[in-house]
A and B are shown apart, each in its own frame.
Chain A
Amino acid sequence: MGDIRLMKGNEVIAEAAIRCGCDAYFGYPITPQSEVMETLMARAPWEETGMVVLQAESEVASINMLFGGASAGKKVMTSSSSPGISLMAEGISYMAGAELPGLIVNVQRGGPGLGTIQPSQADYFQATKGGGHGDYRLFVLAPNSVQEMADFVDLGFEKSFKYRNPAMILTDGVIGQMMEKVELTAFKPRWTDLQVEEISGSWAATGKNKNRKQHIMTSLEMVSERQEKNNERFQAKYKQMQEEDVMFEEIQCDDAEYIIVAYGVSSRISAKAVDLLREKGIKAGLFRPITLFPFPNKRINELADKAKGFLSVEMNAGQMVEDVRLSVLGKTKVEHFGRMGGIIATPSEVVEAIESKLIGG
């Protein structure tokens, strides 16, 4: 029997970090995710596992501390909410350019600007299309339960080391703040120096010795031909993600005529909407992308052969809907439904949207 608890999404991020052998967390307070660092500080993992927890002077500093810790070949993470992630954008781009692993958690709130501290999914573009400058992508995981908040910390690290590319958990104020039952995994010890050498020794800045060349963590390349080669290497990684690591969940999609596409908290509401629609005799299904990048284009395209329409349900003005359209490639109708400003749609609003935008429309 595992270790079963009732925990908040944000708290579980902290607990999962300690349990998966994370080496360091750097962060700066912002609602609705401050519990991540608060929990870590209260747990004092430096006494237990040796994990470093440091409150930085800003998100700019946090992400650059991540750059430093990742350069050592270690498992390092940060968390923030929307405005803080914007501040990190340059640093994230540098990490992608220097091919450094690391985990970034965005517990989204509404924007633009200071916006609202209420939940939102308005950072989809920022998370999945790069966010900072230059042609790069993050490996983006979208949990829809407290359990997945726990599981995706370890998974995020695994993928970020597999690709030597930053990974992001893109979640929202609801999942971050709500309490649910969660089964915690057993403690994994932090990597020893020897393991770091084994896992990251071929590239990390572990100290230059006579037996090897310098290891330089840089995103700079002055020769255009070489920079293009770098870009091609990055693009090859993103393609490999698409081939090997797409994750999604399907609920009643097999015979569905109308498919809701939703992630995070919107998928929880949409699952209820599917039940309501089925009760009314409407064959509805839910498709939940778990990786937002790589996006499950292929599967959505297959489903579009039979479905009469897709509704992308997101807490924004219509962002993921663009990827759904690119997946469906005109085979059938794709519409968007979303509330903004921190308002959480109700299942009956989703039902109405299906009826008015897809069935009646």
Chain B
Amino acid sequence: MTAIKVEDIIKPDNLVYKKSSVLTDVPMHYCYGCSHGVVHKLIAEVIEEMNIQEDVVGVAPVGCAVMAYYYLDIDWMQAAHGRAPAVATGYKRVNPKKYVFSYQGDGDLAAIGTAETMHAVNRGENIVMIFINNAIYGMTGGQMAPTSLVGQVTATSPHGRDVDLNGYPLKITELVAQLPGAAYVTRQSVHTPGNVRKTKKAIRKAFENCDKKIGTSFIEVVSTCNSGWKIDPVQSNEWMVENMFPFYPLGDIKDGERDDVDKYLVQKLKK
């Protein structure tokens, strides 16, 4: 009988998981249990697997992910609050061969940056847009977001979101899916291993769509913000499943390509 040595177990053939080489070694500043970190990891893995590190440029938002550039070892642009889709457009238009993705929170994408979001998708920019919907302004300390649910208590809706005062939660992903420039619009989450795998698949598909020039790929990730919600990470997952999923149901909303141009063509006006 020969004793089993450590070296026999820890060897490349037995490796079941490793950190993506596209992730840096910088410790993430995100709160424990925050969805941002998981989504970063998935993007890093997709970039590594597609071997596109040299050809990808990210656009970081203003929000908790403002410093995303510390964690993914690629070139980045850090956009003004809400303007990531415009920055991504400007870059993609002058460098069409690059993969460009924007990464935004709900305040960034669905409040201050609504115009840039809608118009980038409507133009069918061949970019990937990743949308972290945690129904709150995480970075600034838990204020109400456009996506906060009716009755949800936040720092600026301490008595719960009131429709008369604040209007309804904005399902911007459903709006985006209506736009003819959208190719792929999906809503995912990262609260279970199964959902993590599905989200990764969606991200991969979105990046692959860039090559096909079929329009914008838009991925909402329904997320948790335990610090902003003021409950622990486990309770956050439960709260999300119970309250957010019924209003923001998971799954693909559009899967195809941007609309056929001929459908829209009118006779040209004579000069």
Contact = CB atoms under 8 A, between A and B. Distances in A.
Contacts, number: 126
Interface in B80-119: 80, 83, 86-95, 98, 115-116, 119
A31 interface: no
Contacts of A360: none
Nearest to A50: B94
Contacts of B56: 207
A215 interface: yes
B90 A205 contact: no
A64 B80 contact: yes
A91 interface: yes
A206 B53 CA distance: 11
B174 interface: no
Contacts of A52: 93-94
Contacts of B55: 207
B239 interface: no
Contact of A65 (B73, B75, B87): B87
Interface string A52-95: 10101110111011111111101010000000000000110010
B94 A72 contact: yes
A57 B115 contact: yes
Contacts of A214: 69, 73-76
A68 B88 contact: yes
A68 B77 contact: yes
B78 A24 contact: no
Among A23, A56, A74, A217, chain B packs the most CB atoms within 10 A around the CB of: A217
Contact of B75 (A23, A58, A94, A216): A216
Interface in A180-226: 205-209, 214-220, 222
A218 B77 CA distance: 6
Given A69-B93, A220-B78, A61 B83 contact: yes
A71 B87 contact: yes
Q: How large is the interface on A (under 10, 10 to 19, 20 to 34, 35 or more residues)?
A: 35 or more
B64 to A, nearest CB: 13
A282 interface: no
Interface in A213-244: 214-220, 222
Contacts of B53: 208-209
B172 to A, nearest CB: 16
A64 B116 contact: yes
Contacts of B60: 218
A66 B87 CA distance: 7
A68 B80 contact: no
**Interface residues of chain B: helix, strand, loop or mixed (majority):** helix
B82 to A, nearest CB: 9
Among B66, B74, B94, chain A packs the most CB atoms within 10 A around the CB of: B94
Interface in B10-69: 53-57, 59-60, 66-67, 69
A345 interface: no
Contact of A71 (B77, B80, B83, B115): B77
Contacts of B67: 220, 222
B79 interface: yes
A61 B86 contact: yes
A217 to B, nearest CB: 4
Contacts of A217: 76-78
B91 A71 contact: yes
Contact of A207 (B80, B98, B119): B98
Contact of A206 (B75, B89, B116): B75
A67 B115 contact: no
A98 B78 contact: yes
Contact of B86 (A64, A70, A205): A64
Given A60-B86, A216-B78, 8 more contacts: A52-B93, A61-B116, A64-B79, A71-B91, A94-B79, A98-B77, A205-B75, A218-B77
A76 B92 CA distance: 13
Given A57-B115, A69-B94, A219 B78 contact: yes
Which 4 A-B residue pairs are closest in the complex by CB-CB distance? A68-B90, A65-B90, A64-B86, A218-B78
